[in-house]
């Protein structure tokens, strides 16, 4: 990955060639068209801005406005009648104090944490195992690798429905298998028992996230030079030692970015839980996202929903500095990007 | 055992392990496909059937013809999931199109024009990828309500593009950055305007990256549930994801219909996996953030 980037640095990008390019471009530009009086450099500036305008407008509309509005909402006393207009009664910090005294909200924060940590651990272990498996050459490898992607393509609400079906107490596949092999004697109510429900939802989320981890880690493993592994083998390292001391340190940057991206999209999972449990039983699988939805769109308590949303936003942004740091190649104009 | 034999054994063992792993990963899909052909009674019986038990097309009839009453039927104009599929297709295609219209020129500008705003904007896009959809959903609802776009197709499409626009710009920019500048330079020397250079030189060269982004945006629009749920809460139409939820929401969930609708919702993904697998794999490894 890194190698590919640095090799591109030399050929790609104007930045590498330094400033004095602009006047030359100006001389070569044809003197006609609506912007003919502009010099080449200015013309390019203008064109660049025009190309960028739709994106800037969209980001302002779909990201900046909602985030600012969400902050405003969290300090207001809003109802369905005032949500569309600015200037609802000021509520100070009351939405936040209500939220932190709301037992469902605080437990939703804990559930989100458990759900995220459990999901990432499971996805990483299974994903790395599969990635290592696919690094071997064996018959059917290409087909197997492409089929593993499938769970990622399933709409999340459908995943929720499938797992709700597979983990239903009567006639669910999970209980059937466990009973057939004699691990349990009576069916477990996976989604109806508060102690099992969160675990079951986490299992479903592990399933859908494995393709992402597998593919990213697999492509990182492809970059580990054969010689390095062979050298370790000659030095007498067994396969576990090779993995732990050679392979993992070499793919560590990719592992980091995979975890960060995995965190970002696990912390906001919504559809899956709505489809599987709707947050129940007795709010045992209520996550920040699902509870915020219930508060806002079912109880029309938009203020507290916005306060909870801001907690989620802060949680998601916790990893932002690390994410930006790992993506610094994208931010630095002069170096190549792409992976 | 000789070294050669050992290697062969490891290979076939890998095949076996991979086969088991893939079977486990695909089993949930298999389960829903089998269940979609069973009656709700069978689905709810005490026994899980690994193989088709009493296959019937009744669920698909319910889904396609809308013989079932309930919220789903009352909400849809034509009372069937076929309408849902068309709505989903419209949303997905429009999401893909709008994503491309916004991201391709922007990616080009960020990759090939020397602008002060570049670093700031890319940073903003990286952060935008992190923002949870529910955070956007609550206030986008308010924003859309204000501009009168709640319960409209354009409203939900604009919201759905939040999945794909940051991703699209970043992926396309990475791709365009790697294009040698000489290509554009010679077009300019030949007298092409900036727009002509973009349209006739850059677009064709970026085709594969554009397809990747389009596929990703299409799937995001097709699979979206949260924005449909929040912005279409009284519309005369709903996408298939919302239709599934409506079937679930009945007092007595019509599980057979839920399963069949779920399978229908899988079709585009399956088709794309077959015809555009390369692009999907690229999109996934390019740091796709879903949901």
CA of A322 vs chain B CAs: smallest distance (Å): 11
Q: Could you tell me what percent of chain A has a pLDDT over 70?
A: 83
Nearest C-alpha neighbor of A297 from the set B10, B12, B231, B6: B231
Asked if B223 contacts B241 with a C-beta cutoff of 8 angstroms, the reply is: yes
Nearest C-alpha neighbor of B249 from the set A206, A84, A161: A161
Inter-chain residue contact A84 with B178, CB threshold 8 Å:
no
A234 touches chain B (CB under 8 A): no
Contacts of A294 (CB under 8 A, 6+ apart): A279, A286
Query: In the 8-state DSSP scheme, what is residue A318?
Result: T
Q: Which residues, listed in sequence order, are joined to residue A90 by a DSSP beta bridge?
A: A76
- Examine the pLDDT at A338 and tell me if it is beyond 70: no
A303 touches chain B (CB under 8 A): no
Nearest C-alpha neighbor of A54 from the set B102, B32, B195: B102
- With beta carbons under 8 A apart, name residues in chain A contacting B146: 84-85
Which of A84-88, A129-133, A267-271 is predicted least confidently? Answer: A84-88
- With beta carbons under 8 A apart, name residues in chain A contacting B25: 147-148, 150-151, 207, 210-211
**Could you report the predicted ipTM of this complex, rounded to two decimals?**
0.87
Please enumerate, as own/partner, the contacts of A222-228 that have beta carbons within 8 Å and a separation of 24 or more: A222/A135, A223/A1, A223/A3, A223/A250, A223/A251, A224/A250, A224/A251
Which of A7-11, A46-50, A196-200, B214-218 is predicted least confidently? Answer: A7-11
CA of A124 vs chain B CAs: smallest distance (Å): 15
Of A130, A162, A265, the CB nearest to B290: A265
Structure tokens at A298: 């079912």
- Over residues A257-279, the mean pLDDT reads 90
Of A150, A313, A324, the CB nearest to B123: A324
**pLDDT for residue B79:** 47
pTM exceeds cut of 0.90: no
Please give the residue of chain A at the shortest CA–CA distance from B111. A13
Q: Which residue ranges make up each domain of chain A?
A: 94-331
Of A43, A157, A264, the CB nearest to B241: A157
Inter-chain residue contact B225 with A274, CB threshold 8 Å:
yes
Is the pLDDT higher at A87 or at B98? B98
Nearest C-alpha neighbor of B11 from the set A9, A196, A135, A157: A135
Length of chain B counted residue by residue: 291
Residue A236 CB neighbours (<10 A): 7
Residue whose entry in the numeric block shows the structure tokens 């889904």: B63
CA distances from A195 to A13, A158, A241, B201 (A): 55, 24, 37, 59
Bond prior to A269 in cis (omega within 30° of 0): no
- Examine the pLDDT at A233 and tell me if it is beyond 50: yes
pLDDT tens column, B48-69: 777 777 778 878 877 777 654 4
Exposed / middle / buried, residue A36 (Cβ in 10 Å: 0-12, 13-18, 19+)? exposed
Task: Report d(CA A331, CA B122) in Å as an integer.
Answer: 6
Task: Report d(CA B257, CA B81) in Å as an integer.
Answer: 10
How far from each other are the two terminal CA atoms of chain B, in whole angstroms?
Answer: 50
Asked if B99 contacts B106 with a C-beta cutoff of 8 angstroms, the reply is: no
Domains of chain B: 3-61 (no CATH), 70-285 (1.10.3720.10)
**pLDDT for residue B286:** 65
Task: Report d(CA B123, CA B109) in Å as an integer.
Answer: 15
Band (B231; pLDDT cuts 50, 70, 90): very high
Question: What CATH number does domain A94-331 carry, 1.10.220.10, 3.40.50.1010, 3.40.50.2300, 1.10.3720.10?
Answer: 1.10.3720.10
Neighbour-count burial for B261-275, b at 16+ CB within 10 Å, e otherwise: bbbbbbebbeebbee
Task: Report d(CA B257, CA B244) in Å as an integer.
Answer: 8
pLDDT tens column, B79-90: 456 788 889 999
Please give the residue of chain A at the shortest CA–CA distance from B287. A261
């Amino acid at each position: 990955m890194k190698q590919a980037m640095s090799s591109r640095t030399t050929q790609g990008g104007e930045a590498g060639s330094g400033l004095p390019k602009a006047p030359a471009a100006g001389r070569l530009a044809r003197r006609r068209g609506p912007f003919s009086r502009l010099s080449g450099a200015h013309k390019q500036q203008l064109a660049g801005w025009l190309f960028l305008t739709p994106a800037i407008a969209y980001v302002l509309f779909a990201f900046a406005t909602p985030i600012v509005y969400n902050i405003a909402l969290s300090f207001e006393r809003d109802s369905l009648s005032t949500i569309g207009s600015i200037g609802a009664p000021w509520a100070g910090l009351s939405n936040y104090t209500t939220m932190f005294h709301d037992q469902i909200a605080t437990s939703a924060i804990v559930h989100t944490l458990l759900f995220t940590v459990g999901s990432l651990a499971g996805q990483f272990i299974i994903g790395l195992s599969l990635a290592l498996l696919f690094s071997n050459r064996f018959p059917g490898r290409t087909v197997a690798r492409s089929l593993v992607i499938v769970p990622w393509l399933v709409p999340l609400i459908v995943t929720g429905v499938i797992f709700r079906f597979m983990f239903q107490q009567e006639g669910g596949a999970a209980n059937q298998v466990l009973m057939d092999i004699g691990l349990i004697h009576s069916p477990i109510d996976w989604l109806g028992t508060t102690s099992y429900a969160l675990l079951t939802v986490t299992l479903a989320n592990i399933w859908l996230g494995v393709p992402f981890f597998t593919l990213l880690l697999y492509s990182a493993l492809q970059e580990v030079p054969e010689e390095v592994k062979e050298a370790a083998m000659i030095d007498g390292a067994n396969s576990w030692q090779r993995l732990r001391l050679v392979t993992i340190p070499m793919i560590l940057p990719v592992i980091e970015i995979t975890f960060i991206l995995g965190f970002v999209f696990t912390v906001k999972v919504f559809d899956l839980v709505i489809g599987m449990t709707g947050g129940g039983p007795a709010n045992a699988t209520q996550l920040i996202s699902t509870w915020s939805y219930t508060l806002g769109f079912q109880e029309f308590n938009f203020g507290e929903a916005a306060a909870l949303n801001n907690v989620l936003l802060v949680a998601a942004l916790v990893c932002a500095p690390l994410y930006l740091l790992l993506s610094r190649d994208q931010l630095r104009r002069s170096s190549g990007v792409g992976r | 055992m000789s070294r050669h034999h050992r290697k062969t054994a490891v290979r076939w063992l890998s095949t076996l392990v991979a086969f088991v792993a893939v079977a486990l990963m695909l089993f949930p899909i298999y389960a829903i496909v089998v269940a979609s052909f069973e009656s709700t009674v069978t689905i709810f019986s005490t026994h899980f059937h690994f193989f088709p038990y009493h296959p019937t097309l009744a669920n698909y009839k319910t889904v396609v013809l809308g013989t079932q009453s309930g919220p789903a039927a009352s909400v849809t104009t034509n009372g069937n999931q076929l309408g849902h599929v068309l709505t989903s297709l419209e949303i997905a295609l429009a999401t893909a199109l709008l994503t491309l219209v916004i991201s391709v020129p922007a990616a080009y500008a960020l990759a090939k024009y020397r602008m002060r705003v570049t670093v700031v904007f890319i940073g903003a896009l990286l952060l935008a990828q992190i923002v949870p959809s529910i955070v956007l959903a609550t206030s986008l609802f308010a924003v859309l309500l204000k501009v009168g776009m709640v319960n409209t197709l354009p409203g939900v499409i604009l919201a759905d593009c939040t999945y794909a626009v940051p991703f699209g710009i970043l992926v396309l920019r990475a791709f365009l950055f790697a294009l040698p500048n000489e290509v554009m330079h010679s077009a300019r020397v030949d007298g092409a305007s900036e727009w002509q250079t973009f349209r006739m030189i850059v677009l064709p060269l970026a085709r594969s990256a554009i397809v990747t982004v389009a596929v990703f945006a299409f799937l995001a629009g097709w699979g979206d549930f949260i924005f449909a749920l929040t912005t279409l809460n009284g519309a005369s139409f709903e996408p298939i994801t919302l239709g599934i939820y409506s079937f679930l929401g009945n007092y007595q969930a019509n599980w057979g219909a839920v399963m069949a609708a779920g399978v229908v919702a899988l079709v585009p993904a399956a088709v794309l996996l077959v015809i555009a697998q390369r692009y999907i794999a690229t999109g996934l490894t390019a740091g796709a953030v879903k949901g």
